[in-house]
Amino acid sequence: MGTILDDWYLQLRQLSASEQHLLRRIAESLPLLSDLARADLLVYGPTDIPDTAIVIAEIKPHTVPSLFNDSLVGRLVTKADEWAVIRALTRGTSSESVTRLRSYGVQTVQHAYPIHSEGRVIAALSAEVGLLESGRQRRKSIVFRRAVAQLRDMVLRGQLEGAAGISALGDHDGPMVIDNRGNILYISSIAEHHYRKLGHSHTLLRTNLNSLQTDEAAFFKAIETGACVEQITQEHAQERTLTFVKRAVPLIAEPSDQWWKRYIARPDEIDGSILITCDVTDERRKEQELKIKSAMIQEIHHRVKNNLQTIAALLRLQARRTGSPEITEVLQETINRILSIAVVHEFLAHDESSIVNVKEVCQRIITEVARSTLDPEKRLRFSLSGEDLYLPTQQATSCALIVNELLQNAVEHGFDQRSEGTISISLNEEGSNSRIEVQDDGHGLPAEAAGRIESSLGLQIVRTLVREDLKGWFELRNGDGRGARAIVTFPRVARTAALLGA
């Protein structure tokens, strides 16, 4: 959570390719470090102004509340603001446990570390935690604190591989520290609780992973490859199966120039790993239940669509058997109304979401109206323009019926004496309202026919749907040039609310 490295700064400072690569590698690793250190992390870069720096990246932890509400990226600071950061940038030295009082009254503890590349300091990392959280961290095991410090040093060297593939940590994650032989040197109470569910009632401190008879492939893969690993495991406990997410972060020894160490260990020897466990059994069960419910809902929509199409087919058979043109016309209008509803259910049957893109629905209705309503001798063109309009099922169904009625009304009354023309539909959002407009270039609304058109069943349906379902307004008038113009305006449903099915 936060902003990862602004490229504008890299270009402004004209950093070398290797320096830019290092900063990007560090930036990829910061979210994981922020979560494990339970700290807000800020990367500062020097500027051309002496004793000043600028924030070029920030990461907020998921494991504790962030100290900052707003983004600090782009903020220029001076020595008076951040003397520890300026010292790291100018002298290349770290500053530990700097207690300070933020302007908004929160007391924090800051640690600042220089970032070296090619023999010079190119940036500085600031880790900041609240004073209470700092006290809690000091009471933790020295083994865990040293492991996090070793991880921090790896990050500053750009030595951590695969961190970008590790998902964010949370309150229910339990860290452990394990040496390269598989011995547990530290285990948190949360992790111990996870293993207790698997039947290990005794403390696991100093226990070897090989003796647990659990799936620890993530740890062994991290030790083997030297890269971060995240895996989902299925563990059997008594009469049920538990699902865990396990993340392994290798701990690599710092390279040394002491010649004798080269004979007893590789410079990149892996000391061990931070192994983080998380029980996601309940979350996965809920996800599976939601998938099943979603599949059932989609199947229901599919059956509703099929049933509506069956009803439409039966009405077509009835229309062919009647000898009355008036009855045939009424049945055809009813068929089109049924099919416009079926279109919405067809979209819902193929999409897990409970919302519908009305623009796609309009395109399908245009196709159906052109196929079933138009006189073969007429050459009418349809156009659709505007924005995607996402609505929940009920409102989308109302819009489908409205568009169907307005298209049929335009065909019936706008071109009853003409053989060619254009009918256009446009979808727009204006302020807090959505707007659907159907316009034709027919002969418009003559005064003597206006009352008859206004009283038609189709327009009565439109007015009722707009007023009752959409809580909006409907207007029918002559166009600016020629033809008629139907405008439906209703309060816009925010996309987020629509996605939630509001």
| Percent of the chain surpassing pLDDT 70 | 87
Judge whether 154 lies within some domain.
Answer: no
Read off the pTM.
0.66
Distance from C-alpha of 150 to C-alpha of 169, rounded to nearest angstrom: 19
Residue 244: the pLDDT is: 95
Q: What number of helices (H) and strands (E) belong to the chain?
A: 14, 19
- 185 in the same domain as 272: yes
Beta bridge partners of residue 279, listed in sequence order: 244
Judge whether 481 lies within some domain.
Answer: yes
- 88 in the same domain as 7: yes
- 226 in the same domain as 256: yes
- Specify the length of the chain in residues: 502
Question: Per mean pLDDT, which range of 127-131, 270-274, 414-418 is the poorest?
Answer: 414-418
Judge whether 414 lies within some domain.
Answer: yes
- 399 in the same domain as 274: no
Distance from C-alpha of 278 to C-alpha of 167, rounded to nearest angstrom: 11
The pLDDT confidence band at residue 64, using thresholds 50, 70 and 90, is very high
Residue 455: the pLDDT is: 63
Neighbours of 1 (CB within 10 A): 12
Q: Based on the number of CB atoms within 10 Å of its own CB, is 196 exposed (0-12), middle (13-18) or buried (19 or more)?
A: middle
Q: Across all residues in the chain, what is the average pLDDT?
A: 84
Q: Report pLDDT digits (tens) over 333-343.
A: 788 888 888 88
Task: Tell me the CATH number at 213.
Answer: 3.30.450.20
Structural domain of 339: 283-352
- 369 in the same domain as 321: no
3-state DSSP assignment of residue 475: strand
Interior CA angle at 446 toward 443 and 447, to 5°?
A: 170
- 366 in the same domain as 494: yes
Domain count, the chain: 4
Residue 412: the pLDDT is: 78
Beta strand 120-130 pairing with 107-117? antiparallel
Question: Per mean pLDDT, which range of 22-26, 127-131, 154-158, 314-318 is the poorest?
Answer: 314-318
Residue 3: the pLDDT is: 54
Q: Of 112-126, 280-294, 348-362, which one has max mean pLDDT? A: 112-126
Residue 446: the pLDDT is: 65
Token look-up 């323009």 returns: 385
Q: Report pLDDT digits (tens) over 305-314.
A: 888 889 888 8
Judge whether 150 lies within some domain.
Answer: no
- pLDDT of residue 90 exceeding 50: yes
Can you give the three-state secondary structure of 19-41, one letter per residue?
HHHHHHHHHHHHHHHHHHHCCEE
Decide if 265 contacts 248 (C-beta within 8 A). no
Task: Tell me the CATH number at 115.
Answer: 3.30.450.280
- pLDDT of residue 143 exceeding 70: yes
Mean pLDDT of 195-209: 91
